[in-house]
Chains A and B, each alone.
Chain A
Amino acid sequence: MRVELRGITKRFPGVVACHGVDLTVESGEVHALLGENGAGKSTLVNVLFGLYRPDEGEVRLDGRPLVARSPADAIAAGVGMVHQHFMLVPVFTVAENVMLGVEPTGRLGALDRDAARRRVAEVAERFGLEVDPDATVEELPVGVQQRVEILKALVRGARCLVLDEPTAVLTPAEVDDLVAVVRQLAADGRSVVFISHKLREVRSVADRITVLRGGQVVGTTTPGESDDRALAAMMVGRELQLVVDVPPATPGPPVLEVRDLVVDDDRGVRAVDRVSLDVRAGEIVAVAGVQGNGQTELVEAVCGLRSPRAGTVALEGADVTGQGPRRVLRTGLAHVPEDRQRDGLVGTFPVADNLVLDQIDRRPFSRHGRIDRGAVRRHAIRLVEDLDVRTPSVDAPASTLSGGNQQKLVIARELFRAERLLVLAHPTRGLDVGSIQQVHRRLVATRDRGVGVLLTSSDLDEVLALADRVVVLYRGRVAGVVDRADADRELVGLLMAGGTAEPGGVAVPGRDGEVRAR
């Protein structure tokens, strides 16, 4: 289906989110929308999907104007959307989720489960979307849940599919699968709008790329005629150095010592199995691994949020095992949690209050239990400018900021707070190139003022760019420790996937038989 957006303008109080945007997506084309956080990508596709009415401009599908009052109208016209956050019922099966709202019914309105299952299997097979119709959604990995979302749209007859930052939650292998699915959809004559700010993916999946900045189209190009640098420059509006310079570290004494740590996850399944690692002052240690290999539980145990089964965590030589976040934070640890919206922010609080959420007890923000509003505000204005957080004012509730800016809020706060050790889970997930570069530079600067940095990431580029040492976790165990000099894509990728490390350049800790390919 040919999709045309003509002169779309959408204003919000105080902001023009889209300004006269033209976009044409041909049938059988994968069209990527590239832009920084807040560039207007999501607003634009929400107009297409009927969630927003444009103030000016029109949407045409195969030449016919579409006036969508609600997503139902857009769906009826053949537009499907996969949101960043999935809209699935966790306890339903795949088939039930896919057919929800369009259930085939037999006599007396009884559900025809067999028909539903057949229909799901049929569509799934046609597009190579491998998925078991009888599996319960909550038990599926994120990548498969996303396939269910795509299936939902296809079963409802979508001829144009919008994917809003589909790769943000995926592992590298899942990204490859998604790219294959998207190409298959295009080959079938469907048009795909693919939103992302990851240059590598966009270049691998798209036929054409349109770059948005500040609510306007900067230009449209193809992967062939532009490289990463050019695209990044279009997005940000200036030349960017994509990989930050990281001078050699000058590490001091250890600030974090983890010994034989054993941690169970919420279901009581062993998530971290006898892990030992050190972080010294003034070095960056990256814990690399595909999501779900124990990084989350490791970080939670280090920060006192989860009690370990066995083993010890010591900060600056003091044992803090199982002491709870309050005590641990007091020792000078700063933590950027994995889910910043849920765990790092109070959405109804103003930006300024969120920037002191874990420091309100300290001077100058309060004295003898009395908050100094002026000091809190001044501090907020400084941090917001420092990390370029886009907010109408420091008094705006944090929940009104875009996702990327909410993240930057938490990162800004913790960078400021970090005294001895900074722990970050996926520090730049969901951020745009300009912000990633900014955050990376800050991390290196934090390291260079003598703070130990422990970060977890499943993004190989990030791990390789920053880490002085890489600890690879696989199924809760240390699969290998690689120093900066020896770290390359292939080796770390191999260890992350559970491959056996070749001798030479790889230090495999102690016990024999710990590293095994499966």
Chain B
Amino acid sequence: MSAPPGAVDAPPPPAGGGAARAPTPRPGRLARLAAAGDALLLPALALLTALVVGGLVIAFSDPDVLDEWGSFLRDPLGALGASWSAASDAYEALWRASLGSRAGLGRTLVETAPLALAGLSVAFAFRAGLFNIGAAGQLVIGATCAGWVGFTWDLPAPLHVAVAVVAGLLGGAVWGGTAGILKARTGAHEVITTIMLNYVAYNLLNAALRSDAFQPAGRDDLISRAVAPSARLPELTLGGVTAHAGLLVALAATAAASWLLDRSTVGFHLRAVGANPRAARYAGMSVAAMYVLAMGVAGGLAGLAGTVNVLGRPSFTLTSGYYSFIGFDAIAVALLGRAHPGGVLAAAFLFGVLRAGSTGMQAATSTPVDIIVVIQALVILFVAAPALVRSLYRVRTGRSTTQSFSTGWGAG
């Protein structure tokens, strides 16, 4: 039974006590837009700052530019001009190779898909108060399962892809869920267990790559057989831009994660556990079950990241090494996206641009690919230090309290 309204006569509202009393309006469209603008402003400024600093690094790592600076007193404009053209040439090449051409945009989208899925994995766990450092390992297990199904099983085309994708999803979910179970049952901290499970996963993959089940005939380096054409993700072409269905998987996962977190009771429980586990327990929620679920879903998402990577172009094969890189970028993407699915997708796209552009940049201007890693690191640095960016651009302290992702490990 619920309290019938008016069972007790409510006393009249106190006269004059209304200092803090205000009507309760639904937040207006405009206010929400303003809040969104607020949330975008700082990352945008962080990106800008990172590009400026990155430009300086590009200029000053160029031997020709350094020569010009050697004769700065004789020809100051020459030194400045050389610096400017070195940086602008590099960025122009980056632009052409990522967003500025159809082929580049296709590469960007191909890079975006696994980054978005892996970023969602970290973000999803974070909303439940968990730090998933294990996206790398979950991704490896997912890719291994999907790849194995892809090159050993023999099924008709659409079914084969679907089965391989599900295998990758489940593989990652089991790997992530293991860390969740360890936390729920024994209280083992997920940061420790996921890091350790990463090592187990890498070495499982390396062992598998040495086995006959994985190795192509006649080769003994660490590379697997190629996924059968029937298990490859179909290519999608729109307006001359070609990507593969991994992008659709990423978009669907973003929408699903967003709905699950914000609109479902499960997500409500998950977020409550993440924000205040004590209150969640007092409210009758099962904290342990939420830990297992959150890590399972996070692992599944990371597993999908590995899956689209192995079933999609350009690789179609399993190799050791590449996966740990994307696994750690996932943490950066989740941080940049403020652990919100939409934000993660946007951040993954940005990282996709930088990755796709970096190879073009190196080819055109001999700027080392590593500079992109520097720029990525700078973006994260500036996002993690909002006070720095604020003071740099004299931005007032935002009204909205932002979810602090970067404040420490102790929050869990």
Q: Do A and B bind?
A: yes
- Which residues does A use to contact B, with CB under 8 Å? 13-17, 19, 36, 38-40, 213-215, 236-238, 305, 325-326, 328-330, 335, 337, 342-349, 353, 357-358, 360-361, 366, 369-371, 373, 377, 381-382, 384-386, 388, 390-395, 397, 402, 415-419, 434, 437-438, 441-442, 445-446, 449
Contact pattern, B 18-53, Cβ under 8 Å of A = 1, otherwise 0? 111110111100000000000000000000000000
B3 and A345: CB pair below 8 A? no
A237 and B14: CB pair below 8 A? yes
- Please give, as numbers and ranges, the residues of chain A lying within 8 Å of B14 by CB-CB distance: 36, 236-238, 388, 434
A342 and B279: CB pair below 8 A? yes
B391 contacts chain A at the CB level, 8 A cutoff? no
The distance in angstroms between the C-alpha atoms of A508 and B220, with both chains bound, is 86
The 3 closest A-B pairs by CB, nearest first: A358-B283, A329-B284, A445-B8
A392 and B281: CB pair below 8 A? no
A16 and B13: CB pair below 8 A? no
B19 and A384: CB pair below 8 A? no
The distance in angstroms between the C-alpha atoms of A391 and B20, with both chains bound, is 7
The distance in angstroms between the C-alpha atoms of A236 and B10, with both chains bound, is 15
* Among candidates A236, A343, A419, residue contacting B279 with C-beta atoms closer than 8 Å: A343
- Please give, as numbers and ranges, the residues of chain B lying within 8 Å of A325 by CB-CB distance: 281-284
List residues 239-287 of chain B with CB under 8 A from any CB of chain A: 263-266, 268-269, 271-272, 275-276, 278-286
- Of all chain A residues, the one with the shortest Cβ separation from B24 is A393
- Please give, as numbers and ranges, the residues of chain B lying within 8 Å of A369 by CB-CB distance: 264-266
Given contacts A345-B276, A360-B265, A360-B268, is CB(A326)–CB(B19) below 8 Å? Answer: no
B17 contacts chain A at the CB level, 8 A cutoff? yes
- Please give, as numbers and ranges, the residues of chain A lying within 8 Å of B17 by CB-CB distance: 36, 38-39, 213-214, 236-237, 434
The distance in angstroms between the C-alpha atoms of A16 and B2, with both chains bound, is 36
B29 CB, nearest partner CB in chain A, Å: 14
B20 and A15: CB pair below 8 A? yes
A162 CB, nearest partner CB in chain B, Å: 21
Pairs across A and B, CB under 8 Å, 10 listed: A40-B19, A236-B17, A238-B14, A344-B279, A366-B264, A370-B265, A395-B24, A441-B11, A442-B8, A445-B7
16 new A-B contacts at CB < 8 Å, known A326-B285, A330-B284, A386-B5: A13-B399, A16-B19, A39-B17, A325-B281, A342-B278, A342-B279, A349-B272, A349-B275, A358-B283, A361-B265, A366-B264, A371-B264, A390-B21, A391-B20, A434-B11, A445-B8
- Please give, as numbers and ranges, the residues of chain A lying within 8 Å of B268 by CB-CB distance: 353, 360, 371
B63 contacts chain A at the CB level, 8 A cutoff? no
The distance in angstroms between the C-alpha atoms of A346 and B27, with both chains bound, is 21
The distance in angstroms between the C-alpha atoms of A373 and B8, with both chains bound, is 27
* Among candidates A237, A382, A393, residue contacting B15 with C-beta atoms closer than 8 Å: A237
- Please give, as numbers and ranges, the residues of chain A lying within 8 Å of B16 by CB-CB distance: 213-214, 237
- Please give, as numbers and ranges, the residues of chain A lying within 8 Å of B280 by CB-CB distance: 346
- Please give, as numbers and ranges, the residues of chain B lying within 8 Å of A366 by CB-CB distance: 264-265
* Among candidates B5, B19, B24, B275, residue contacting A347 with C-beta atoms closer than 8 Å: B275
- Please give, as numbers and ranges, the residues of chain A lying within 8 Å of B5 by CB-CB distance: 382, 386
B282 and A337: CB pair below 8 A? yes
Residue of B265, B279, B399, B403 most packed against chain A (CB within 10 A): B279
The distance in angstroms between the C-alpha atoms of A144 and B8, with both chains bound, is 42
The distance in angstroms between the C-alpha atoms of A455 and B237, with both chains bound, is 68
The distance in angstroms between the C-alpha atoms of A329 and B212, with both chains bound, is 56
- Please give, as numbers and ranges, the residues of chain B lying within 8 Å of A237 by CB-CB distance: 14-17
A215 and B19: CB pair below 8 A? yes
B22 and A392: CB pair below 8 A? yes
B186 contacts chain A at the CB level, 8 A cutoff? no
- Please give, as numbers and ranges, the residues of chain B lying within 8 Å of A373 by CB-CB distance: 263
B1 contacts chain A at the CB level, 8 A cutoff? yes
* Among candidates A238, A335, A370, A437, residue contacting B282 with C-beta atoms closer than 8 Å: A335
B401 contacts chain A at the CB level, 8 A cutoff? yes
- Please give, as numbers and ranges, the residues of chain A lying within 8 Å of B3 by CB-CB distance: 415-416, 418, 445-446, 449
A394 and B24: CB pair below 8 A? yes
B26 CB, nearest partner CB in chain A, Å: 8
A346 and B279: CB pair below 8 A? yes
- Of all chain A residues, the one with the shortest Cβ separation from B18 is A214
* Among candidates A215, A236, A386, A391, residue contacting B24 with C-beta atoms closer than 8 Å: A391
- Please give, as numbers and ranges, the residues of chain B lying within 8 Å of A214 by CB-CB distance: 16-19
The distance in angstroms between the C-alpha atoms of A16 and B21, with both chains bound, is 11
The distance in angstroms between the C-alpha atoms of A418 and B3, with both chains bound, is 8
The distance in angstroms between the C-alpha atoms of A163 and B123, with both chains bound, is 44
- Please give, as numbers and ranges, the residues of chain A lying within 8 Å of B27 by CB-CB distance: 393, 395
List residues 150-195 of chain B with CB under 8 A from any CB of chain A: none
- Please give, as numbers and ranges, the residues of chain B lying within 8 Å of A418 by CB-CB distance: 3
A326 and B286: CB pair below 8 A? yes
The distance in angstroms between the C-alpha atoms of A51 and B13, with both chains bound, is 31
Residue of A238, A330, A346, A446 most packed against chain B (CB within 10 A): A346
- Please give, as numbers and ranges, the residues of chain A lying within 8 Å of B284 by CB-CB distance: 325-326, 328-330, 358
Residue of A17, A366, A419 most packed against chain B (CB within 10 A): A366
The distance in angstroms between the C-alpha atoms of A342 and B12, with both chains bound, is 31
A512 CB, nearest partner CB in chain B, Å: 39
- Of all chain A residues, the one with the shortest Cβ separation from B280 is A346
A78 CB, nearest partner CB in chain B, Å: 30
B281 CB, nearest partner CB in chain A, Å: 6
- Please give, as numbers and ranges, the residues of chain B lying within 8 Å of A377 by CB-CB distance: 26
* Among candidates B1, B264, B283, B286, residue contacting A449 with C-beta atoms closer than 8 Å: B1
- Please give, as numbers and ranges, the residues of chain A lying within 8 Å of B26 by CB-CB distance: 377, 395
The distance in angstroms between the C-alpha atoms of A342 and B1, with both chains bound, is 27
The distance in angstroms between the C-alpha atoms of A342 and B283, with both chains bound, is 12
B20 and A38: CB pair below 8 A? yes
- Please give, as numbers and ranges, the residues of chain B lying within 8 Å of A13 by CB-CB distance: 399
